């Protein structure tokens, strides 16, 4: 295990009905809230009205900032920042899935940030001087409605610059942790099937990546991190089909929600590497084809497994396959994983996302532009080259 520091100050308030406390929680951090959420909130039912009432009862003024879309954009953040400044908001309440919560983070920091907000984001890994991390943000309260990204308990925000077509992230523990997050599983009961399934696949990938790219020399023997990670992976894996069959089961919804939060709140990767090459390649699929994040991860996890079937350095992949599918044959495991994800109703091939063989070069270039390091590789264990990135995209067709 490597040396590490762990810091996570997010207060988690979990339970059915806890969203009713939103006003009291926000009131601890400000008097005027900017509510960052989707442009269309009709699928929230009466949640938005209930939040308004809760804030008003707690003496918190509010301004609605309905700008978020799936794969949120820099221009949406700029609109939110302008609105927050205009109304002198002193606290940001993010409501929704990862898109809305990540946008809330960029807006909370952007209201204070003195530079072009593009410079807040790691839009290139080659030039370490490009990114100017935010030093401060307005206090942030988050209410997730989609178990997936764990944005509610990590200091990461993912956003797309629609001008350059680059999707990347900012990770800043100094100011992008929420003060509090309210995990109310009743808010997820009306999630559409596809969003539920893609959220589960995303959460699985958040643990599968550190498992697959671990630098722990534990081949053949599960270490503490392997056991912790596999527990979360198996919980998500086994319960995703059940929650699709029983979408109104609050206990199951809550289990998926808390599992997704644990999957990427930092705890599972203390002392081990946290490379996310599948996410980096998946982001290109989203920025070029508007693909749903979870679906891009389904395609990438399968293609990586198949690619590593032919590589000698694949011990972690074989361990993963053995644990989850009972075989160290990576091709057989990938077939089983693909059938599983098809059963969830998630796309498993990038051709289903709109890509053709003619797009592979541009996709690889997208990964190079954003995610390749100065040594011309994509960080993973082992690091991979552009040729391998192209091979993996081609395998995913
Ligand atoms: Fe993700």
1 part of a folded domain: no
177 and 274 in a single domain? The answer is no
389 and 328 in a single domain? The answer is yes
- 150: its two tokens: 């764990």
Distance (Å) from CA 35 to ligand 1 centroid? 23
Q: Which CATH number belongs to the domain containing residue 327 in this structure?
A: 1.20.1090.10
96 part of a folded domain: yes
For 152-167, what is each residue's pLDDT tens digit?
A: 999 999 999 999 999 9
Q: Which of 128, 162, 187 is the last residue of a domain?
A: 187
If pLDDT is split at 50, 70 and 90, which confidence band does 2 have? confident
Residue 235: per-residue pLDDT: 98
Distance (Å) from CA 61 to ligand 1 centroid? 33
- Asked whether the predicted pLDDT for residue 248 surpasses 80, the reply is yes
Distance (Å) from CA 204 to ligand 1 centroid? 9
Distance (Å) from CA 58 to ligand 1 centroid? 34
Out of 32-46, 79-93, 320-334, 345-359, which region has the weakest mean confidence (pLDDT)? 32-46
Locate tokens 């993996």: which residue? Answer: 392
Task: Name the strand (E) or helix (H) holding 58.
Answer: none
3 part of a folded domain: no
Distance (Å) from CA 151 to ligand 1 centroid? 9
162 part of a folded domain: yes
- Asked whether the predicted pLDDT for residue 27 surpasses 90, the reply is yes
Q: Residue 97 and residue 37: Cα distance in Å, rounded?
A: 9
Distance (Å) from CA 28 to ligand 1 centroid? 30
> Which residues sit opposite 156 in a β-bridge?
171
Q: Residue 109 and residue 131: Cα distance in Å, rounded?
A: 14
178 and 44 in a single domain? The answer is yes
Q: Residue 371 and residue 121: Cα distance in Å, rounded?
A: 12
154 and 277 in a single domain? The answer is no
Distance (Å) from CA 148 to ligand 1 centroid? 7
Distance (Å) from CA 358 to ligand 1 centroid? 26
Distance (Å) from CA 149 to ligand 1 centroid? 5
Average pLDDT over the chain, rounded to an integer: 95
Residue 314 belongs to domain spanning: 191-395
Q: Residue 80 and residue 96: Cα distance in Å, rounded?
A: 15
Distance (Å) from CA 345 to ligand 1 centroid? 18
- Asked whether the predicted pLDDT for residue 308 surpasses 60, the reply is yes
Distance (Å) from CA 205 to ligand 1 centroid? 7
Residue 382: per-residue pLDDT: 87
- 231: its two tokens: 């527990």
- Asked whether the predicted pLDDT for residue 225 surpasses 90, the reply is no
118 and 210 in a single domain? The answer is no
Distance (Å) from CA 50 to ligand 1 centroid? 29
90 part of a folded domain: yes
Cis amide leading into 382 (omega within 30) = yes
Distance (Å) from CA 210 to ligand 1 centroid? 12
- Between strands 91-96 and 61-68, the pairing is unpaired
231 part of a folded domain: yes
Q: Which CATH number belongs to the domain containing residue 137 in this structure?
A: 3.40.50.1970
Residue 150: per-residue pLDDT: 97
Locate tokens 């395609």: which residue? Answer: 299
291 and 218 in a single domain? The answer is yes
81 and 207 in a single domain? The answer is no
Distance (Å) from CA 53 to ligand 1 centroid? 32
271 and 374 in a single domain? The answer is yes
138 part of a folded domain: yes
Distance (Å) from CA 297 to ligand 1 centroid? 8
5 part of a folded domain: no
Distance (Å) from CA 291 to ligand 1 centroid? 13
Q: Which of 187, 220, 252 is the last residue of a domain?
A: 187
If pLDDT is split at 50, 70 and 90, which confidence band does 305 have? very high
Contact 100, 69 (CB under 8 A): no
Q: Which whole number is the average pLDDT over 29-47?
A: 92
Q: What's phi and psi for 331, nearest 5 deg? A: -70, -40
Distance (Å) from CA 251 to ligand 1 centroid? 23
216 and 359 in a single domain? The answer is yes
Q: What is the pTM of this model?
A: 0.96
Residue 385: per-residue pLDDT: 96
Cβ-proximal residues to 104 (8 Å cutoff; 6+ apart), any chain: 36, 80, 92, 93, 94, 140, 142
Distance (Å) from CA 276 to ligand 1 centroid? 9
For 265-294, what is each residue's pLDDT tens digit?
A: 999 999 888 789 999 999 999 999 999 999
Number of domains in the chain: 2
Residue 217: per-residue pLDDT: 58
Query: What does DSSP assign to residue 264?
Result: T
32 and 164 in a single domain? The answer is yes
212 and 149 in a single domain? The answer is no
Q: Which of 155, 187, 219 is the last residue of a domain?
A: 187
Distance (Å) from CA 294 to ligand 1 centroid? 7
198 and 260 in a single domain? The answer is yes
Distance (Å) from CA 249 to ligand 1 centroid? 24
């Amino acid at each position: 295990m490597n040396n590490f520091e762990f810091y996570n100050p997010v207060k988690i308030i979990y339970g059915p009905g806890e969203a009713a406390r939103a006003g009291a929680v926000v009131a601890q951090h400000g008097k005027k809230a900017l509510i960052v959420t989707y442009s269309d909130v009709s699928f929230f039912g009466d949640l938005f009205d209930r939040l308004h009432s809760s804030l008003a009862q707690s003496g918190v003024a509010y301004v609605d900032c309905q700008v978020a879309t799936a794969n949120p954009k820099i221009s949406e953040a700029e609109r939110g920042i302008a609105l927050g400044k205009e109304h002198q908001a002193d606290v940001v309440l993010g409501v929704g899935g990862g898109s809305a919560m990540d946008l809330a983070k960029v807006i909370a920091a952007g209201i204070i940030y003195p530079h072009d907000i593009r410079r807040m984001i790691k839009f290139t890994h080659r030039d370490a001087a490009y990114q100017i991390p935010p030093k401060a943000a307005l206090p942030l309260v988050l209410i997730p409605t989609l178990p997936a990204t764990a944005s509610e308990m990590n200091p990461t925000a993912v956003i797309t610059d629609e001008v350059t077509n680059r999707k990347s992230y900012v990770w800043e523990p100094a100011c992008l942790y929420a003060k509090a997050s309210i995990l109310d599983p009743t808010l997820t009961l009306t999630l559409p099937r596809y969003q539920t399934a893609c959220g589960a696949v995303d959460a699985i990938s958040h643990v599968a990546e550190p498992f697959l790219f671990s630098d722990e020399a534990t081949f053949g023997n599960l270490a503490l991190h392997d056991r912790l990670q596999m527990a979360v992976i198996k919980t998500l894996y086994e319960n995703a089909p059940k929650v699709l069959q029983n979408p109104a089961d609050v206990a199951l919804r809550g289990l998926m929600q808390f599992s997704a939060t644990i999957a990427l709140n930092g705890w599972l990767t203390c002392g081990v590497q946290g490379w996310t090459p599948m996410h980096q390649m998946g982001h290109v699929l989203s920025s070029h084809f508007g693909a749903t994040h979870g679906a891009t991860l389904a395609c990438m996890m399968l293609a990586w497994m198949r690619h590593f079937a032919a590589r000698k350095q694949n011990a972690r992949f074989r361990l993963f396959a053995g644990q989850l599918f009972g075989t160290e044959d990576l091709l057989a495991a990938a077939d089983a994983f693909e059938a599983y994800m098809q059963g969830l109703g998630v796309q498993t091939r990038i051709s289903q996302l709109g890509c053709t063989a003619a797009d592979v070069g541009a996709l690889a270039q997208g990964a190079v532009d954003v995610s390749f390091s100065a040594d011309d590789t994509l960080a993973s264990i082992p690091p991979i080259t552009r040729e391998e990135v192209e091979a993996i995209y081609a395998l995913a067709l």
